[in-house]
A and B are shown apart, each in its own frame.
Chain A
Amino acid sequence: MVPTLFGMSLAIFLMVRLMPGDVIDVLTGGDVSITPAQREGIRRTLGLDKPLPVQYLQWVGGMAAGNPGLSLRSHEPVGAILARALPITVELVIIAVVFAVALGIPLGVISASRRESVGDYVARVGGLIGLSMPSFWLATLILLFTSIVFQWIPAVSFVPFLQDPLGNLSQVVIPGISVSVFVIAIVMRMTRATMLEVLSQDYVRTARAKGASRRSVTYHHALRNALIPVVTVVGFQVGTLMSGAAIVEVIFGLPGLGYTLIQAIFARDYPLVQTTTMLLATIFVILNLTVDLLYGVIDPRIRAR
């Protein structure tokens, strides 16, 4: 994991500096009256005049010490910005995953166990629509729909969960649904595909032959074995959602990680872009590790190996 994180940090650091446009121009609003001396003065003040290896080591050292530096634009500690943004995105992702698991798995199971039925067709078509529908489009549509029909949208000023749980949930549930539709479709399709495969296995036939009920065969014998690829997909989607929810965050005015990252990219705010990206990448790596460990919990045979 450490070599992976090191490689990622180096790649992120270099790629951020390959972004077109000079941070000084962004910071100065493209003011052409600025003299070269002033330009260099700003660069020096921000520490951007130092050689790249020095800048890299300072950033990595700062992250290791829990202080990845200051935002170039606002001069607020990057750590404080991320501490404010991370819980919002985590909450959004949790809601999306809860919806995806709560709806996607049952729909997939029903679809597989009633193959070629009307319910199966409906679920499959719904899955295709869910996959094809961009979350930002759906989010915009939901916003416009509720605003026109009900003269209501989620409150625009974000309230933390601990401060006002109901107020908070009323703000994040709709964005959560917007980003979950795609994941619901993926989970449903994956569950259906693996269930169909498992249901054709010999041990399932044996279970049926010994007189186990349909419900017992489906949920006790088949589903548990079908869940391994689903867990992999869900784990992967959680990582993707951490950054992929950005546009929905922007649409709903939720100042989460993705929103912060987009603003930072536009501002060429190197420390903030680097650290946010690094945080997202680290979360992704940890999630992959967690998924690997979960295999053993779901399937004891893997643990035994």
Chain B
Amino acid sequence: MKVADHQLTRRELLKRSGLLAGAGLVAPSALLEACGTTTTTSTTSTTPKRGGKVTWALEQDPTYLAPFGGIPTSNHWGNEFMYDSLLQWDKDLNVQNALAESYTTPDDRTYIFKLKQGIKFHNGKELTADDVKYSFDLMANPPLPGSTSYLGQFPAVASTDVVDKYTVKFTMKKPDASMIGFLAWGRYSGIAPVDMYKQLNPVTQGIGTGPMRLVEYVPNDHVTYTRFADFWGKPLPYFDDLVLKVLPDEQARVAALRSGAVDGATVSPDNARVLGKDKNLVVYKGLTAAFREIQFTVKAGEKKPWADRRVRQAISAAINRQDLIDKVYSGDGKYSGFIPPGYGKYPIAASDLVNKYFKFDLNKAKQLMSDAGFSSGFPLTMLSIAQPADMTQAAEVVKEHLQQIKIDVNIVPQMIGEFAKNNGNGSFDVDLTSRGMRGDPNGFVAEFVNNAKLWWPGYEMPPDIAALVAKGIATPQQDQRYPIYSQLQQTLMNELLEIPLVAVYKYQVVTSRLHNMYVAFTDFNTGLRQAWLG
């Protein structure tokens, strides 16, 4: 008997839907705040078994498997079992060594990594510092099909030098604490053997050190992996074969789960609830970093009402986030600050968000509107993303809330390409958007400096924001960074040029024979690395 983390059982689903409410049939479940994730007890085998084939349904085609500069999230869904980084996160975002044996920071501009010895690539070659240098040089200038546009996430590495066969030194252009998170995230920092790009087509092929060795990738259809017997992280992986099948249609994924044609898939909350009633399936849920928020632009000379801080504060106070969670996310969601809940120790405490910063207070909102001279309200056009549909649904609920302070919201849903273009060039007044995962907390707040001229050229940004952003990125000691980002978020929650709303859950449904899964906060599938078939 064991406890399966991050698992939502059939019973809990029934309980949530009210069928078992009050019946006392459900074992008490504990709330695990570390990852903002509900945990329930379940009876599963504790002894991992080896062997078997796992088929997992992907919502999108990986597009390509190249490890460097891959922009689509699905790119990493396709190659995450093939490549490893020097470091890795565990499920609670604690940094652990991966290919690295250890690392030191002799000064604030130098990182020295010692590699584990004897690590093998899938082609049998041993991992050395040359491979790390080769990979980092390509990360700094990713060849096609990768994109240089990801470089905003890349740390300020000036040079990568091979010290000896198993030691590599990174010299930074400036102190940059994001290096560790960048490596642990692993999305852009997989290590490939020297000259891999010359030896094969990185679009459909690849060689890494990961637990699974690539067999074939047929674009738009599937990626097939087989167990890498010389994987450095033994006893992982437990299963022999892994097939990632592209099934974009959600009903097809649901049918495939019911029939056992696939062992796992990500589904919407509604389908998770339905599938939770199937005795052969288990539902896991977990928060991801993709929180929803409202974003304003403040342009010079426009004098829009929301250029006044009090109006933005009024809007925030008028939004009932719990109502938003209940109506759009069926009660499953959390209040989010600028750094989303689940991101280690950086987020503002949930109780402070609920009772202090984002407390629903209509009277306060009306008073702020009156103080700003807008007691009779104003019209506002809000762009939203058409798909996923929850973004526009959330905008509709926000519209309903803002009517109470006489703000008339006109919602304009747009396809992601058009929305991204407008967001990217600042061609919007207000939008309801989503944020994604970042390797370092700086990634959630750096835009208040880097994009200030793009989005808020007409706004006098408090100088302590830029100072705190600079201080946070220049402070390598994690424990010293927590108060910096706490202070920074408090400042931002006063300014509210962006209004964080809610963090939402991701649901993964697996067949009951697949054990030891969890939903990764990163939106990747690291849970599958440690899973086994019972």
Contact = CB atoms under 8 A, between A and B. Distances in A.
Interface of A: 20-23, 25-34, 38-39, 41-42, 45, 73-76, 81, 84-85, 140, 143-144, 146-148, 150-153, 155-158, 250-253, 255, 259-260, 263, 267-268
Given A42-B149, A156-B55, A143 B251 contact: yes
B264 to A, nearest CB: 12
B259 A151 contact: yes
Contacts of B419: 30
B420 interface: yes
A81 B204 CA distance: 12
B423 A32 contact: yes
B245 A253 contact: yes
Given A143-B251, A151-B258, 12 more contacts: A25-B424, A26-B417, A28-B147, A73-B64, A73-B72, A74-B145, A74-B203, A156-B55, A157-B221, A157-B222, A250-B248, A253-B247
Interface residues of B, number: 52
Nearest to B280: A151
A85 B220 contact: yes
B71 to A, nearest CB: 4
B219 A146 contact: no
B220 A42 contact: no
Nearest to B246: A253
Contact of A31 (B150, B243, B259): B150
B168 to A, nearest CB: 27
16 contacts: A20-B415, A30-B424, A31-B424, A33-B447, A34-B152, A76-B204, A147-B256, A157-B55, A157-B245, A252-B252, A253-B221, A253-B245, A253-B246, A253-B249, A253-B252, A268-B417
B416 interface: yes
B255 interface: yes
Q: Which of B248, B255, B454 has the most CB of A within 10 A?
A: B255
Interface string B237-264: 0000001011111011011101111100
A97 to B, nearest CB: 24
Interface string B187-223: 0000000000000000110000000000000111110
Q: Which of A42, A73, A140, A150 has the most CB of B within 10 A?
A: A73
B99 to A, nearest CB: 27
Nearest to A259: B220
B343 to A, nearest CB: 19
B63 interface: yes
B95 to A, nearest CB: 24
Given A28-B149, A84-B218, A144-B255, A156 B421 contact: no
A29 to B, nearest CB: 4
In the A-B complex, the 9 residue pairs with the closest CB atoms: A30-B420, A21-B417, A33-B152, A147-B255, A28-B149, A255-B220, A147-B258, A143-B255, A34-B149
B84 to A, nearest CB: 23
Q: Which of B245, B252, B260, B418 has the most CB of A within 10 A?
A: B252
